[in-house]
């Protein structure tokens, strides 16, 4: 697995994932809020399967 999720993208995914999970845990939103696990995991790992399938890469190029 080559990393394909860059810095800002990773930060946004982790933040959004944690926010959704927290909202679901406190009852602010329904159980669907636990879908925040997906962006959280892809942000922590740095690899997103749909990005791979579609050829996207938000990582900076290393020279």
pLDDT digits 0-9 by tens, 20-49: 999 999 999 999 999 999 999 999 999 999
Which residue range(s) make up the domain with 15? 7-54
Domain membership flag for residue 21: yes
Domain membership flag for residue 37: yes
Exposed, middle or buried: residue 14 (CB in 10 Å: 0-12, 13-18, 19+)? middle
Report how far residue 16's alpha carbon sits from residue 1's, in angstroms, rounded to the nearest whole number: 23
pTM of the model: 0.88
Inter-residue contact 60 to 45 (CB < 8 Å): no
Domain membership flag for residue 2: no
Domain membership flag for residue 61: no
Whether residue 63 has pLDDT greater than 60? no
Cα–Cα distances in angstroms (integers) from residue 51 to residues 21, 31, 41, 42, 63, in the given order: 23, 26, 14, 11, 22
Count of structural domains within the chain: 1
More confident residue, 31 or 61: 31
List the structure tokens of 37. Answer: 């696990």
Domain membership flag for residue 14: yes
């Amino acid at each position: 697995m080559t990393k394909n999720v860059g810095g800002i993208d990773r930060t946004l995914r982790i933040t959004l994932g944690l926010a959704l999970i927290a909202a679901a845990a406190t009852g602010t939103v329904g159980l669907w809020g636990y879908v925040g696990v997906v962006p959280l995991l892809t942000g922590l790992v740095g690899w997103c399967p749909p990005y791979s399938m579609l050829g996207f890469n938000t990582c900076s190029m290393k020279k």
